[in-house]
Amino acid sequence: MSTSTYTQDTTTATTRQFAARMPVWLVSAAVVLVGALVTGVFEFAARAVGVPFNVALPGTGVDPAAIPATGLAWAVAELGLIGIIIAVCLARFAKRPRSTWKRTAWTLTALSCVPSLVAVTDSYATNIMLVISHLVAAVVIVPIIAARLSETNPRRG
């Protein structure tokens, strides 16, 4: 085994051990904040290339209005609270917290993309960027919380 592989494996194992000692709510809160930050950077980049973020719900008869500059990051942070509650509850009560979290989180991510697809916008690019922003947040948040959750719950053995 090479030294670099040993160092990488040791670092990864140490990081996992450290994260395993941290409470689920703390890891989840930190990851949601990172996900909000990454989504905010994505939104900033999309706006920089000229994607308009004007949205209205279908059937309301209202013209699309602009999403505030940090609107997507703020939405990730707010809705991430629901994800934190779900993760904590699964860690406590689910028989298989990790797999249940993955199924639940990816299903909710897919469902959250539907309003972005049907929203009335000034450009299809807006709809696409809204869907991608959901996926960006999920790709950051879901796997890290899953890694923190145990595969089986000793309380529900």
> Model's pTM, two decimal places?
0.83
CA–chain centroid gap for 143, Å, is 9
Q: What is the pLDDT of residue 6?
A: 59
Query: How far apart are the C-alpha atoms of 52 and 63, rounded to whole Å?
Result: 14
For residues 34 and 139, the answer to whether their CB atoms sit within 8 Å is no
For residues 154 and 93, the answer to whether their CB atoms sit within 8 Å is no
| Tens digits of residue pLDDT in 110-148 | 999 999 999 999 899 999 999 999 999 999 999 999 999
R_g over Cα of the chain: 19
- Helix (H), strand (E) counts: the chain: 5, 3
Who wins on pLDDT, 106 or 157? 106
Query: How far apart are the C-alpha atoms of 99 and 153, rounded to whole Å?
Result: 11
* pLDDT band (50, 70, 90) for residue 21: confident
Q: Is the pLDDT of residue 29 over 90?
A: yes
For residues 131 and 72, the answer to whether their CB atoms sit within 8 Å is no
Range list of H helices, 22-96: 24-48, 71-93
Q: Is the pLDDT of residue 5 over 80?
A: no
Residue 61, burial from CB neighbour count under 10 angstroms (0-12, 13-18, 19+): exposed
According to DSSP, residue 153 is labeled -
Tokens of 84: 């934190």
For residues 96 and 153, the answer to whether their CB atoms sit within 8 Å is yes
